[in-house]
């Protein structure tokens, strides 16, 4: 399936993940200018790459001014394929029919056993949605912390969204770390843009119905995560929500 997810969900035909896309041949390195030694040329290239890497990580870790979904704002709807499913397609972030690249159907209406739907996550329960990249580090650690803590908060719904990267690597991580909550795959990064994600990990906590308590940037340890979840549950109860009995 290409483009944003719609109602036309593909039937399950195989439990096997899709084949990885064919890799394009790598472009040859740039020719060195005349009069410069091979060693000097490659040293210059290496310096440029190092500086680019440092700049990228500085932007990523500082967040570039991004704060995610602000407290009191409503979480935007989205629907993405579950990473472990064989459903393909870009994120649907439409809020009404026929929104072109955002989706032909409203995201809240795109549901199924292979879809992570934000509207379902936030409906009737407090929720925590983590955003990660498939590069390990603090992103992976955050999901490990969530997995250890989530059993203590059965009234809270947990989910994660992986931003771009290798879907096969993501699947391997899910199985290796035994994450028991749903993990969606944001193939084109539309959800990350919608949620203003610039730091990995980012976690958005929301009251039932999808109003944000807050968004946290960077790794939360167990103590900080538990404190935020207790605040979320207590705040939800003050708003009239009661956990199912």
Looking at residue 2, its pLDDT comes to 59
| CA distances in angstroms from 220 to 1, 31, 149, 156, listed in the order given | 36, 46, 11, 17
Looking at residue 59, its pLDDT comes to 34
What span, in angstroms and rounded, lies between the C-alpha atoms of 144 and 245? 28
Looking at residue 61, its pLDDT comes to 39
Q: Which of 173, 94, 172 is nearest to 130 (CA)?
A: 173
Low-confidence ranges of the chain (pLDDT < 70): 1-2, 7-66, 135-136
Q: Is 28 helix (H, G, I), strand (E, B) or coil?
A: coil
Q: What is the pLDDT of residues 198-213, one digit of tens each?
A: 988 999 999 999 999 9
Q: What is the pLDDT of residues 130-162, one digit of tens each?
A: 999 876 678 899 999 999 999 999 999 999 999
- 174 with 84: CB under 8 angstroms? yes
Looking at residue 34, its pLDDT comes to 55
The alpha carbon torsion through 230, 236, 237, 241 (nearest 10 deg) reads: -140
Looking at residue 81, its pLDDT comes to 98
Q: pTM for the complete prediction?
A: 0.76
Looking at residue 123, its pLDDT comes to 97
For residue 224, what are its two tokens?
Answer: 């900080």
Looking at residue 35, its pLDDT comes to 55
């Amino acid at each position: 399936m290409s483009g944003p997810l719609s109602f036309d969900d593909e039937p399950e035909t195989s439990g096997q993940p899709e084949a990885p896309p064919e890799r394009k041949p790598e472009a040859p390195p740039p020719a060195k200018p005349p009069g410069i030694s091979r060693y000097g040329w490659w040293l210059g290239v290496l310096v440029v790459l190092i500086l680019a890497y440092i700049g990228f990580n500085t932007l990523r870790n500082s967040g570039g001014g991004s704060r995610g979904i602000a407290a009191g704002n409503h979480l935007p709807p989205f629907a993405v394929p579950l990473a472990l499913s064989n459903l393909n397609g870009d994120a649907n972030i439409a809020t009404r029919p026929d929104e072109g690249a955002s989706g032909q159907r409203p995201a809240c209406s795109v549901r199924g056993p292979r879809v992570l739907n934000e509207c379902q996550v936030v409906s009737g329960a407090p929720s925590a949605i983590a955003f990660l990249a498939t590069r390990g580090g603090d992103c992976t650690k955050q999901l490990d912390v969530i997995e250890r803590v989530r059993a203590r908060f059965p009234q809270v719904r947990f989910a994660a969204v992986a931003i771009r990267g290798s879907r096969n690597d993501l699947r391997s991580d899910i199985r290796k770390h035994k994450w028991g909550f749903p993990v969606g795959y944001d193939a084109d990064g539309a959800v990350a843009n919608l949620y203003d994600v610039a730091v990995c990990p980012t976690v958005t906590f929301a009251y039932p119905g999808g109003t944000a308590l807050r968004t946290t940037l960077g790794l939360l340890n167990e103590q900080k995560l538990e404190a935020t979840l207790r605040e979320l549950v207590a705040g939800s109860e003050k708003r009239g929500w009661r956990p199912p009995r």
